[in-house]
Amino acid sequence: MITFFTTGKPYRGHDGIIQRNALKSWTLLHPAVEVIVFGDEEGAAQSCADYGLRHEPGVERYESKLPYVSSMFARAQQIARHPYLCYSNCDIVLLKDFWEAFEKALAWQKHFLMVAQRWDTDVNEPIDFLDPDWASKLHQRALTAGKLQIPDFIDFFVFPSGLYDSVPPLIVGYAYWDHWMVWKALSAGCPVLDASHFVMPIHQNHAYSTTPERTKGSRTDALATRNFELSGNGKRLRSMLDSTHRITRSGQIRRTRFRRLLESEPMLKLRQIIAEKTFKLRDRLGLRRQSPPSRLGPHAG
């Protein structure tokens, strides 16, 4: 089974709502799921008590403010009850498709890193988890009103305990740390499994106000630059475009080849031009693109 771990902001206002939504969704994936919350932010202890989670208030921080990735990953692998762990940002709601993907990965092999692109979605209210259709409704909201984020943003990592035996003092929440995690897996000979075609992680949109100088996705602020330098000045950075395998929509695991080339910006622009130029022909042949199928299946709740 699996142990989730995370850290977060103070549980106030909208941040409190979306963090509690995320934590609760993880507990509903399977009765045996363990969740560990790192940090002593306001409201963290109470949220853990409400949901029966493990609270670890002590975590090493940069200048006593921002948690080190290394501290959380080392401690989580030390105390987790389960042989597999998942670090997830505390704004990500996971549905049953995540668990199904995890089981497929386990049946495939025992050593892997699983990641997926997130769906940015507006969620401004507590999710009614007593509603048996809450997951289906949220899935539909993301599909119709949300946005699939690019492969550069990685919000969860599923891995076997011991994979991250040595992590530099990267700072969570700032650019590059997630790309180092992918590089680490690949450098250890661990296959990287992209589940984006099968899993819909719901990223609940929020303001970015951790520090006054921080902007969303910034790669140039001081702490992002620090992460970059700790990652070999860019030499130890990889993204989902460097994944070795992917889960297809039908749930099969396939090798990915030449993905970085085929999904590069110039190639995507060329594919768009070709699609526009051949629209009428494809329409006559009945090859118009259809809406993506639902990926929740019969176990959406």
Any domain includes 121: yes
Interatomic CA distance for residues 208 and 118, integer angstroms? 17
Q: Whole domain around residue 114: which residue ranges?
A: 2-259
Q: Per the structure, how many domains does the chain have?
A: 1
Any domain includes 283: no
pLDDT at 208: 61
Best mean pLDDT range from 80-89, 248-257, 276-285? 80-89
Any domain includes 272: no
Any domain includes 281: no
pLDDT at 9: 94
Interatomic CA distance for residues 89 and 66, integer angstroms? 14
Interatomic CA distance for residues 128 and 126, integer angstroms? 6
Any domain includes 40: yes
Interatomic CA distance for residues 199 and 248, integer angstroms? 10
pLDDT at 219: 75
- For the chain, the C-alpha Rg in angstroms (whole number) is 19
pLDDT digits (tens, 9 = 90+) for 131-189: 999 999 999 999 999 999 999 999 999 999 999 999 999 999 899 999 999 999 999 99
Interatomic CA distance for residues 55 and 192, integer angstroms? 29
Any domain includes 225: yes
Any domain includes 245: yes
Any domain includes 135: yes
- What's the CATH number where 42 sits? 3.90.550.10
Confidence band of 269 (pLDDT split at 50, 70, 90):
low
Judged by DSSP in three states, 163 sits in: coil
Confidence band of 287 (pLDDT split at 50, 70, 90):
low
pTM value is 0.85
